[in-house]
């Protein structure tokens, strides 16, 4: 049974192009499956999350991170009585617009676009992917996703200004997104805040002592775990502690969101949309713990000297390739040359680079600039 404020698939605003119903899958389930079968989704397997494969094949990539976010999102949605099919589709598509090389790649691509008075935004790029770039169907371009999934792509993590983005007017930019979309960004944080501690520890870039000292939420659970499993290896004690950290974050998000919904007397999706702020949130105490965890990762892992060379290399590859194709557009694939006549060369180069995997962009760098 769905809560009264959950999105009901039978009340979906539908697709741009109407399609007959499927005999045993509802529309949000079909959207989920269309995302999974998209080429852009498969490419996430070869895009960096934090660590490249130079460190280990065991570390998260953009695809495995996405799957972890999806699992967490379904759990939270189910506990809150939300539409777990919609939450699953949104979680699966939430990172589909990311370029190669993780956040270093996004930073470099945005800087290159700024040189032309433009910008790169992975949420807006994700919408372009599902609306235009994916070509799997004879009847329409893109994936023809439901309105609710397209809206969630845009609004799950960011509130866009309607004056700055008139092209997004159909997505009710003056309103909050449904709770199914609101929880995605928070599930994303839960996933990477815990997973990056795990990968950082496995890579030996973060020591147990550093984590215990710098992440109070971890230290809170470590002592009891060590008492409970005194003979376990350090890694297993670490795993048990991290599991409890994740559970605390998920449990608090569920309980506090439910509390906020109840206090606000939310009865419908429209109530969620019209509320002055997002309702999905951690409690103040746990949000402070989450922020300490995140700050620790930025200070000790994401900007670690051990990863600096790879980030510099990633930014150099993207910056130089962007400049090369700007100067030599005739070397772009023919379909991109044709598209540049309609959308402008910088945007088309940006689209081309953003769709690349880590290894393919290195191949292009070797081909054109070495």
Tell me which DSSP letter residue 231 carries.
Answer: T
Write out pLDDT tens, residues 84-94: 999 999 999 99
Q: 49 or 146, which is more confident? A: 146
**Banded pLDDT at 342 (limits 50, 70, 90):** very high
SS3 breakdown of the chain: % helix, strand, coil, rounded to 5? Answer: 65, 0, 30
Domain ranges of the chain: 9-307, 309-369
- Give burial (CB, 10 Å; 0-12/13-18/19+) of 13: exposed
Region 168-183 average pLDDT: 96
Helix (H) or strand (E) holding 306: helix 305-327
State residue 317's pLDDT score. Answer: 96
- Which pTM does this prediction carry? 0.95
Question: Where residue 370 falls among pLDDT bands split at 50, 70, 90?
Answer: confident
Model confidence band, residue 50 (pLDDT cutoffs 50, 70, 90): confident
Cα dihedral 365, 367, 369, 370 sign: positive
CATH superfamily of 9-307: Hypothetical protein af1432 (1.10.3210.10)
| pLDDT average, residue stretch 25-32 | 98
Three-class SS state of 20: coil
What's the confidence (pLDDT) of residue 53?
60
Average pLDDT of the chain is: 95
Residues 115-153: tens digit of each pLDDT: 999 999 999 999 999 999 999 999 999 999 999 999 999
pLDDT of residue 112: 97
- Per-residue pLDDT, 307: 87
The confidence score (pLDDT) of residue 182 equals 98
User: Alpha-carbon distance 28 to 10, whole Å?
Assistant: 10
pLDDT at 252: 98
Work out the end-to-end distance of the chain between its first and last CA atoms, rounded to an integer number of angstroms. 59
In the chain, % of residues over pLDDT 90: 93
Contact 238, 245 (CB under 8 A): no
Q: Is residue 54 over pLDDT 70?
A: no
pLDDT score recorded for residue 56: 65
Per-residue pLDDT, averaged over 264-274, amounts to: 98
pLDDT attached to residue 310: 87
pLDDT of 14 higher than 70: yes
How far apart CA 156 and CA 170 sit, in angstroms, is 15
Predicted pLDDT at 55: 64
Residue 202 buriedness (CB in 10 A; 0-12 / 13-18 / 19+): middle
Rounded mean pLDDT, 202-224: 96
Q: Which residues contact 117 (CB under 8 A, 6 or more apart)?
A: none
pLDDT at 58: 78
């Amino acid at each position: 049974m769905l809560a009264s404020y959950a999105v009901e698939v039978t009340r979906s605003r539908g697709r741009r192009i109407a399609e007959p119903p499927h005999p045993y899958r509802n529309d949000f389930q079909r959207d989920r499956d269309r995302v999974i079968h998209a080429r852009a989704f498969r490419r996430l397997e070869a895009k960096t999350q934090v660590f490249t494969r130079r460190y280990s094949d065991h570390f998260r990539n953009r695809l495995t991170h996405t799957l972890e976010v999806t699992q967490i999102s379904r759990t939270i949605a189910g506990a809150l009585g939300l539409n777990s099919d919609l939450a699953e589709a949104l979680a699966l598509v939430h990172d589909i617009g990311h370029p190669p090389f993780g956040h270093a790649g996004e930073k470099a691509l945005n800087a290159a676009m700024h040189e032309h008075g433009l910008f790169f935004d992975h949420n807006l790029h994700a919408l372009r992917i599902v609306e235009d770039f994916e070509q799997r169907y004879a009847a329409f371009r893109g994936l023809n996703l439901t309105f609710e999934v397209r809206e969630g792509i845009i609004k799950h993590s960011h509130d866009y200004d309607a004056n700055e983005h008139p092209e997004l007017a159909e997505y009710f930019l003056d309103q909050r997104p449904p709770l199914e979309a609101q929880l995605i960004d928070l599930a994303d944080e839960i996933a990477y805040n815990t997973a990056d501690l795990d990968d950082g520890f496995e890579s030996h870039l973060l020591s147990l002592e550093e984590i215990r000292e710098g992440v109070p939420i971890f230290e809170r659970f470590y002592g009891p775990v060590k008492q409970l499993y005194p003979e376990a290896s350090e890694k297993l004690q670490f795993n048990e502690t991290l599991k409890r950290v994740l559970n605390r974050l998920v449990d608090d998000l569920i309980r506090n969101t439910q509390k906020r919904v109840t206090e606000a007397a939310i009865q419908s999706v429209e109530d969620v949309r019209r509320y002055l702020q997002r309702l999905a949130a951690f409690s103040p105490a746990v949000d402070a713990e989450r922020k300490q965890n995140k700050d620790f990762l930025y200070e000790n892992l994401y900007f670690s000297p051990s990863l600096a060379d790879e980030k510099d290399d990633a930014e150099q590859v993207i910056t130089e390739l962007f400049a090369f194709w700007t100067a030599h557009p005739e070397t772009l694939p023919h379909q991109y040359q044709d598209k540049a006549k309609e959308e402008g060369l910088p945007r088309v180069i940006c689209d081309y680079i953003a769709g690349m995997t880590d290894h393919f962009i290195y191949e292009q760098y070797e081909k054109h600039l070495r």
